[in-house]
Amino acid sequence: MSDAPIYGLILAGGSGTRFWPLSRDDRPKQLLKLFDDETLLEKAVRRLEPLIPRENLIILTNAIQEQPIRELLPDLPEENIISEPERRDTAPALALGIGAIARRNPEAAMVVIPADQLIRDEEGFARIIGAAIEAARASDALVTLGIKPTWGCPSYGYIERGQRASISGYQNAIPVHEVQRFREKPDADLADEYFKSGAYSWNAGIFIWTVPAVIRELSRHCPELADFVSELRQSRDFAATLAKQFPRLTRISIDYALMEKAGRVLNIEADIGWDDVGGWISIGKYLDQSEGDNASRGDVTMLDCYSNVIFSATGRKIALLGVHDLIVVETPDAVLIADKDEADRVKKLVEQMPPQLR
C-alpha cells in the first residue's frame, strides 16, 4: 500500500573490534565519535529523519550496548530500542526487526541500514532511498542499495546488475536494475575485473522492502524465520517470545538466507560518499594530514616520520621519532602500537585481552 507508513530499521549490534582500544564491547564503532562530535549511530538516525519520523525508527542492538544507546538517544521511544538475546547473524536480526514492525503495521515499508557506515552525501542518500521505497512499493520486490565502486576492493561482497527493471507505476528518474546475482568477496584480481566491467556494485547491506513482500519471500525460502516473524507478530508477550525463540534460530546471514534466493531483487546503484570505515587505516583520510603522509588526531609531534596513523583520545602529548607505517592509538587505559600491515589482526589481539579491556 502506497499510503502505508515507512519504518527504519537500524542494525546497531556490531562489535567493531578493529577500532580497539577506542572501541569496546559496550562502546563499538557505531557509538564512537570518530569524525566529529556525532557518533555514527547518531548520523544514521539523522540520515533517515528526512524520510521517516523518529517514532518509526527501530534500533536493533544487544544487551551490552542497549543502555549506552538509550543514553545516547534519550528522545527515542523506549520500545524502539530492541536487544537481541544473543548474536545470531543478520538474518535472525532482520527477522526480529520485521516482526517488531509487522506488529505495528503489517503493510509498512521498511528501510534497513547498518549503524556503522559513513555516508557523506546525505541529500543524495535521501533521494536514492526515496526512489527505492517507490520501487519497492510499485514492484512488490526486494530492493537493495548498491554502492558505486571506486576501485576493485576485495573486502566487500558485490552485486551483479542485470537489465534495467520495468516497473509499472515507478515514475522516479533514478534507474533501477534487476539483480543478476550476489557475489562473495572476490580475490584481488577478480575484484578488479568486477570494477572494470562497470556491472557490479558494492553490497552495503542496505535493503528496502514492504513487510508483505519480505514475509512472502521468507515463507518461500526461510520458513524458520517466517514462523518466527509470525510468532512475534501475534504474541501477547513480545519479550518472552523473543527470549524463547530467538536463540533457536539458525545462525546465518541475510544474503545466504534470503537475498540470493528471493524471486525478484532490484538494485539501485548509489554514488553517495559511502565508506564502511573498516579500521584504523581507513579512518586515516579523515584525520588531520601532515607532511610525510601522516594522519593524526590529538596533540602529536613527529620528526622524520612518514605514513603513520595516530589517534589520541586523552589529550596527552604523543611524540614520534623516525618511525613509519605505524598505527598508534592512545586511550586512558590502553595503548595500541601496530604495524599498518598487521591492522587486520587487531581483532585477534583483542581476543587475548582481559575481559575488562575488551
Structural domains in the chain, sorted by start? 6-275 (3.90.550.10), 280-357 (no CATH)
In this prediction the pTM is 0.94
Average pLDDT, the chain: 96
Name the pLDDT band for 2 (thresholds 50, 70, 90): low
Residue 240 pLDDT > 90: yes
**What CA–CA distance (Å, rounded) separates 5 from 56?**
8
How far is it, in rounded angstroms, from Cα 250 to Cα 227? Answer: 13
The pLDDT tens digits of the residues spanning 62-103 come to 999 999 999 999 999 999 999 999 999 999 999 999 999 999
SS3 at position 252: coil
Q: What is the pLDDT of residue 159?
A: 98
Of the chain, the end-to-end C-alpha distance in Å amounts to: 46
Model confidence at 127: pLDDT above 90: yes
Residue 356 vs residue 219, higher pLDDT: 219
Buried b (16+ CB within 10 A) or exposed e, 309-332: bbbbeeeeebebeeeebbbbbbbe
Only one residue has cell 556525532, namely 38
Provide the β-strand partners of residue 143.
Answer: 208, 266
Backbone angles phi, psi at 43, to 5 degrees: -65, -40
| CA separation for the pair 254, 258 (Å, rounded) | 6
Q: Each residue of 63-90: b (16+ CB within 10 Å) or e?
A: eebbebbeebbeebeeebbbbbbeebeb
Lowest mean pLDDT among 7-11, 141-145, 266-270, 284-288: 284-288
Whole-angstrom distance, CA of residue 268 vs CA of residue 341: 34
For residue 114, name the pLDDT band (cuts at 50, 70, 90).
Answer: very high
Lookup: cell for 327:
598505527
